[in-house]
Structure 1
């Protein structure tokens, strides 16, 4: 199966084409732009498919980062993924930023539970705890005050990873702060489609969304 993975939830505007049969990335394009994902995403997708020598519909599934992250960035990614899925009659699955960080941290955790965090600013962090052995979610993704992260970590005897824990002054167990586009593809390859993909928002937006990228909230 060929997975087209998309990520616009943070600074990167990224896409990759992943071959699950041979466990190999056929092509990837990553632009670290901070803003302006709406203007660049389709060009990034086109370049990725061009590198892989595939047609515009040359994939079997789309996997997209649904957040939490930049409010506008997440909306751009989800809207584009949904439009592509409709146009190419391809199934689409959502992958969260926190599950992606948790996936990347498991190797460093060596069997311990993992608390994945992302700095949400305004005194808060997004966080979720995952089992170290199988990666099963032990908590729901939520926004926490910085001072609440230590208690969450201790309740689950977890190791802390990510920018939220670092900003909150907790000891982090490894440098796992950047989501690799391949991670979105690998998680998306085994995810079960559950209807239309929607952004994962854990608090109200800091800014108004860009016009033309309206997606219904959960």
Structure 2
């Protein structure tokens, strides 16, 4: 299986051709730009297709990061992925950034559930808990720090990601890395009808939610 990978969920704009048989990138482009994904992404796709020698029509599916992350970036990436899907008649698979963050721990067989925690700013985090086998135990949601810490405690979960330190009074680290190989690995294993819709969790101008989790639409 060969996939076109697209990631515009943060300051990085990236595209790649991934070969699921050997778990490798046949070609990849990645650049930290902050803004301007809509202009750069088509160029990157053309370059990775040319370098890999794999025509778009020969791909098996398209994978795109759906967030949570940059509101505008996610919209750009999902729109382009859907456009390719329609034009080529190929399935489009959405991969959440929370699942990508959790993947680094899940791949080594953790002894307990894993909670992926991203710094959402505004005294909030985005978080989701996965079982050691990678099954989602909670929905992606936004929490205040105390709420996220309580959720992690309920599941006795290992916390990982840029927002993990915030739950214990420390600082955030970041930005979070979303490795293209991890995106390809997750997308190649996903069901073909995995939803490729933006996972915004909260609106671009939403006020912070305090004391409870907000389910994604």
TM-score for both structures, normalised by structure 2? 0.87
Determine if contact 1:162/1:176 at 8 Å carries over to the other structure.
no
The change in CA–CA distance for 1:43 and 1:98 in structure 2 (over 3 A counts) is same
Aligned-residue offset at 1:175: 8.9
Alpha-carbon distance between aligned partners in 2 of 1:126 and 1:80, rounded to the nearest angstrom: 25
CA distance in 2, matches of 1:58, 1:108: 32
Label 1:109 to 1:55 Cα distance change in 2 as closer, same or farther (>3 A): closer
What is aligned with 1:205? 204
The match for 1:38 is 38
- Residues 1:89 and 2:89 aligned together: yes
2:24–2:181 CA contact under 8 A, matched in 1: no
| Structure 1, gaps ≥5 residues long | 208-216
Give the match for residue 164 of structure 2.
Answer: 165
Structure 2 unaligned blocks of 5 or more: 207-215
Deviation at 1:16, TM superposition (A): 1.4
Residue 94 of structure 2 aligns to a residue whose secondary structure is: strand
Determine the C-alpha separation between the residues in 2 that align with 1:176 and 1:106: 20
Q: Does structure 2 retain, via aligned residues, the 8 Å contact 1:101–1:176?
A: no
**Residue 160 of structure 1 contacts residue 171 of structure 1 at CA under 8 Å; is this kept in 2?**
no
Q: Does 1:59 align with 2:59?
A: yes
CA-CA distance at 1:157 after TM superposition: 0.7
The within-5 A match list for 1:68-83 is: 68-83=68-83
Contact conserved, 1:5 with 1:63, CA < 8 A, in 2? yes
Deviations 1:145-188 (A, max 9, x none): 1222211111111111111222444579x999311011111111
How large is the RMSD of aligned CA atoms in angstroms?
2.4
Structure 1 segments, 4+ long, off by >6 Å, are none
For residues 179 and 63 of structure 1, what CA distance do their matches in structure 2 show? 13
2:149 equivalent to 1:150: yes
Instruction: Encode CA deviations 1:112-143: one digit per residue, 9 max, x unaligned.
Output: 211101111111110001112x1111111100
Aligned residue pairs, count: 207
**Within the alignment, does 1:11 sit opposite 2:11 as a pair?**
yes
Deviations 1:7-49 (A, max 9, x none): 1001111111111123322111111111111111111111111
Mapped to 1, the partners of 2:122 and 2:4 lie a distance apart of: 34
